[in-house]
Amino acid sequence: MNEPGLSKIRFGLHTRLSLGVAAVVLAATFAIATYALHLVKSSMRASIAAEQLGRVSAISDAIDQKLGSRHILLQTLAESIETQDFADAQPLQGFLEKHASLRQAFDNVALLDMDGNLVANLNGALKNGSVNVKDRAYFQQTVANKTGMVSEPYRNRLNGLAQVAITQPVIDGAGAVRYVISGAINLKDRNILGALGDVRFGKSGYLFIFTTDGVVVDHPDLARILNNVKDRGGKGGNPEILRAMAGFEGTGEGADEAGVPSLYAFDRTERTNWIVGAMYPSAEAFASIEAIERGALLGALVLSLAAGALALAVMRRRLKPLAELHRHMQSAQQSPGEISRPPASYARDEIGDLARTFDALMAQRHASELSLAHSEAQLRTIADNIPAMVSHVDASLRYTFVNARILALHNGAQLVGRSMPESRGGNYAVVEPYFARALAGETVILEKTGDPSLGIGHRTYQAHYIPDLDADGAVRGVFAMTFDITEEVNIRKAVAEQEKRLRDVTDNIPALVGYFDRNQNCLFGNIRARQMAGLGDRPIEGVTLRAALGDAMYEQHKPYLPVMLSGKKVRFPVRAPMRGKEGYFQVNLIPDTNPRGEVVGFYLMSFNITALKEAELRQAESELRLRTITDNMPALITYIDRDEKITFANATSREWLGLDPMQLLGRHLQDVAGRDVYLARRPMLARALAGERVEFEARTQRKGFERITQVIYVPDVRADGLTHGIFSLALDITALKLVEHQLIELARMDTLTGLPNRLAFNEYLPDAVLRGRLTGNAMALMFLDIDRFKTINDTFGHALGDAVLVEYARRLMASVRGTDKVARLAGDEFVLVLENLSGPHAAATVAEKIVERIGTLPFVVEGQTIAVTTSIGIAFHRAADTSASAEELLARADAALYNSKAAGRNRYEFFLPPGSPRDPLMLGGGARADQAPEAQ
Give the whole-angstrom CA distance, residue 507 versus residue 522: 16
Give the whole-angstrom CA distance, residue 288 versus residue 319: 47
Give the whole-angstrom CA distance, residue 325 versus residue 357: 12
349 φ/ψ angles, rounded to the nearest 5 degrees = -145, -170
- Three-class HEC string of 698-719: EEEEECCEEEEEEEEEEEEECC
Give the whole-angstrom CA distance, residue 432 versus residue 305: 47
Q: What sign does the dihedral 424-425-430-433 (CA atoms) show?
A: positive
Nearest Cα residue to 764 out of 811, 820, 806, 810: 820
**Residues 265 and 277: beta-carbon distance below 8 Å:** yes
Give the whole-angstrom CA distance, residue 676 versus residue 4: 104
Give the whole-angstrom CA distance, residue 112 versus residue 413: 102
**Residues 631 and 640: beta-carbon distance below 8 Å:** no
Burial class of residue 819, CB neighbours in 10 A (0-12, 13-18, 19+): exposed
Give the whole-angstrom CA distance, residue 897 versus residue 903: 10
**Residue 481 CB partners (closer than 8 Å, separation 6+):** 386, 388, 389, 390, 463, 464, 466
Q: Can you say whether residue 41 is alpha, beta or left, with left for phi > 0 and alpha for psi between -120 and 50 degrees?
A: alpha
Give 228's DSSP letter: B
Nearest Cα residue to 432 out of 390, 476, 465, 401: 465
- Secondary structure (DSSP) of 322-343: HHHHHHHHHHHHH-GGG--S--
Give the whole-angstrom CA distance, residue 209 versus residue 193: 9
**Residues 909 and 900: beta-carbon distance below 8 Å:** yes
Strand arrangement of the beta sheet that strand 925-926 belongs to: 821-826, 829-837, 778-786, 870-877, 907-910, 925-926
Q: 20 in helix, strand or coil? A: helix
Strand arrangement of the beta sheet that strand 399-402 belongs to: 399-402, 389-394, 475-484, 460-469, 444-449
**Residue 393 CB partners (closer than 8 Å, separation 6+):** 399, 400, 420, 435, 477, 478, 480
Give the whole-angstrom CA distance, residue 482 versus residue 796: 117
**Residues 217 and 229: beta-carbon distance below 8 Å:** no
Residues with active-site annotation: 828
**Residues 565 and 518: beta-carbon distance below 8 Å:** yes
Q: 755 in helix, strand or coil? A: coil
Give the whole-angstrom CA distance, residue 526 versus residue 477: 52
Q: How far lies 248's CA from each of 240, 279, 665, in Å?
A: 9, 15, 83
Nearest Cα residue to 146 out of 120, 114, 119: 114
Beta bridge partners of 601: 517, 592
Helix and strand element counts for the chain (H, E): 27, 34
- Secondary structure (DSSP) of 501-570: HHHHHHHHSSEEEEEEETT-BEEEE-HHHHHHTT-TTS--TT-BHHHHH-HHHHHHHGGGHHHHHTT--E
